[in-house]
Chain A
Amino acid sequence: MRTAPAAPAPVTSTNREESLRHLPEEARAAFHRFQAVGDPAGLDPVIFAILDDFIPHHSAVPLADLPGTTNLAADLGFDSLSITEVVFFTEDLFAINISNEEIMQVRSLDDLRGFIRRKVAAPATR
């Protein structure tokens, strides 16, 4: 086993454009706007696109039209694995790290929206 270096190099997205490539145009544009102006409030199209990509069973109602209290597990059918995929994709896209404890706090669409906005607005720790 190799010894970890004293000062870890920053972990960046493995391939941000690769992650974005499959998102709808509206989501890609929202992400690029966020990159340009840094306003996390405009990230909803990105968040909905990610959820839509990993949702186990597609919702008859567009995610953006659902109430913010909609529960990811009970109402939308997300299980632990699909949530993990959403987390991985989000981590990779925004080059952030999300802990298991943080994931446990996210239950509804509003929770997720708020969490990602806070997370990407926080100063990068890595």
Chain B
Amino acid sequence: MPPLPVITGLGFITSIGQGRAAVLDHLREQRHGFEPVEFFDNPNLPVKVAGTVKGFSFPTPNWRDWRWPDNLTVDRELLRGLAPHGVYALCALQEALADAGLQAAQLTDGTTGLFCASAGSPFLLGNFIDQMHATRGERGNPMGIISSIAGTLNFNLAAHYGISGAVCGFVSACASSSHALGYAMDEIRLGRQQRMLVVGAEDLTAESIVAFSSLRALSSNPDPDTASRPFDRGRDGFVGTGGAVAVIVEDLALARERGVHVYAELAGWGQAGDGYAVVASHPQGAGLREAMRRTLVDARVNASEVDYVNAHATSTPAGDRSEALALHAIFTRAGAKPRISSTKALTGHGLSLAGVMEAAFCALAIDDGFVPGTAHLEEPDAVCAGLDLPRASLEVAPRFVLNNSSGFGGSNVCHLLRRPT
């Protein structure tokens, strides 16, 4: 039997909870993770809501001031090289490893790899650059680069866990961790690795979030209960979030040998570029449509077999519209009508974190037998007519689940997850 990648461990540090049980409750009960925020202590900013990561605090760039929940362990030696999202990532990975019944010593023999995704830490990078300017280049924090640039997650986690298998970081903006998961699947399928640790994470700082205000991509709705409303006619931009999600992917044969629980099989993935614009998605969702098609082909699954689609839909007017059109092209045109929702209505948009976070939600949906709804959806956009967009979560056990992600430059990545056979 050829290798089959399956998910055997999940770890969550998200706006809708830390740990699988809390996240599951939030998804099932449609409880969001948004709170009012005031970035840069500036009441004039139009962005007033974020998906906050409760219990963590990063008030200054100095790691000695950082705080995290008492039940989580962060090694002081490691902390010096981490960004805020590195702290989230370490905690999420610890949970995922424990969930998969793995000890750190089992990760070092070369059969385990590590793929990560984050945009780096604008918060720490800005501080590091300021320091260099202040000293005219004569002094700088030795950990400045390690802790701040894109790649900081794989630098730190690979060294900490002694990973001697494949180690890589992925940067494709909001599709980054979806790429990481897709290529992790390939590492297993090609027989290169038996186990992959996949981690996506982002800071939740003014520097990370408000930057998107320059693109007019953020919601200016100050109400945490309605600011993020994917596919709704009244949507006006996304709500930012941070955190980390870690997924343990193993070859099914290894998972069976170890006797561990399998959340879901990773049946296929695909990607396609829009070939269209730097920021805006293709108006017809061409790249996403093709990425979905390639994923279904890779998984040898028909559109009509897909029970649930976790949409990328971030709550921006243009992006959600493109995705709706792509969904019509794949499903409506084939006479298929899967349940579709965007869990960003609850979490906010996690940028590089989004893809693997939502793949993990899909695994939970398969494992726990439910379909998450799209919270805050009152009046669906006319373009969504004919799509099945449940508001509340449904007690329906999906067998095949599609996870969509799209990033800047028109990178589109999808995964197809299947209930374990």
Contacts and interface: CB of A to CB of B under 8 A. Distances in A.
Interface string A8-46: 110100100010001000000000000000000000000
Contacts of B44: none
A81 B143 CA distance: 8
A84 interface: yes
Interface in A75-95: 81, 84-85, 88, 91-92
Interface residues on B, range: 10 to 19
B41 interface: no
Given A14-B131, A22-B62, A84 B142 contact: yes
B135 interface: yes
Contacts, number: 30
A100 to B, nearest CB: 13
Interface in B57-92: 62, 64, 77, 80
B140 A88 contact: yes
A91 B134 CA distance: 14
Interface of B is mostly: loop
Nearest to B61: A18
B131 A57 contact: no
B139 A88 contact: yes
**Range for the number of chain A residues in contact with chain B:** 10 to 19
A15 to B, nearest CB: 9
A56 interface: yes
Contacts of B257: none
B234 to A, nearest CB: 45
Given A11-B135, A14-B134, A85-B143, 9 more contacts: A14-B131, A14-B139, A22-B64, A56-B77, A81-B143, A85-B80, A88-B139, A88-B141, A97-B139
A80 to B, nearest CB: 10
A9 B131 CA distance: 15
Contacts of B142: 81, 84-85, 88
B333 interface: no
B139 A8 contact: no
B18 to A, nearest CB: 27
A56 B75 CA distance: 10
A21 to B, nearest CB: 8
B138 A97 contact: yes
Contacts of B64: 22
B200 to A, nearest CB: 26
Interface string A49-71: 00000101100000000000000
Given A57-B77, A85-B143, A8 B136 contact: yes
Nearest to A9: B136
Contacts of A81: 142-143
Nearest to B134: A14
A81 B141 CA distance: 11
Contact of B136 (A11, A22, A85): A11
Which of A14, A22, A57 lies at the interface centre, i.e. has the most chain B CB atoms within 10 A of its CB?
A14
Contacts of B143: 81, 85
Contacts of B80: 54, 85
A81 B136 CA distance: 22
B86 to A, nearest CB: 16
A11 B138 contact: yes
